Structure 1
Amino acid sequence: MTDVVDSDELLRRMHRARSRALEEGRHWRARSEELRSTDPEASREAAVRTVAYEAVLRVLDEVLTPGRNAR
């Protein structure tokens, strides 16, 4: 990660990271629900991952569109 990138490339990378965080959050949420009745421990693990990806998503949203999601 020592390459110098211009602002457009940095913005593209952040948008890709946001899309990936959204996908991963959905995946882990579904996995948590799927495991809830059969494996509660794995369901909790998936729920923790869901929360982590949601946090990443909130940070990237604020970086990419400051103030848009202000509470």
Structure 2
Amino acid sequence: MAPIPTPPAEPQDSPDRYVGLAADHAERLARERGWTTVRSLPPGAVITMEYRFGRLNLEVRDGRVARAWKG
């Protein structure tokens, strides 16, 4: 029987820490903290909802992060 794959570890970082930051600064900071993918989205964007380990989603309004979540 083949072993069950172990998902990659996610950074020990809270998405809430990015809310209110300038979008470019938040993206740079997220990558420095270990997020492998950082996705900036406009409010109400239509996106795929599959969960991706190591991805941080940033909803950006007027150049600032309004909401952030994993996956």
Smaller-chain TM-score bracket: under 0.3
Give the alignment's TM-score, normalised by structure 2: 0.25
Question: Which protein is bigger by CA-based radius of gyration?
Answer: 1
Larger strand proportion of the pair = 2
Give the alignment's TM-score, normalised by structure 1: 0.25
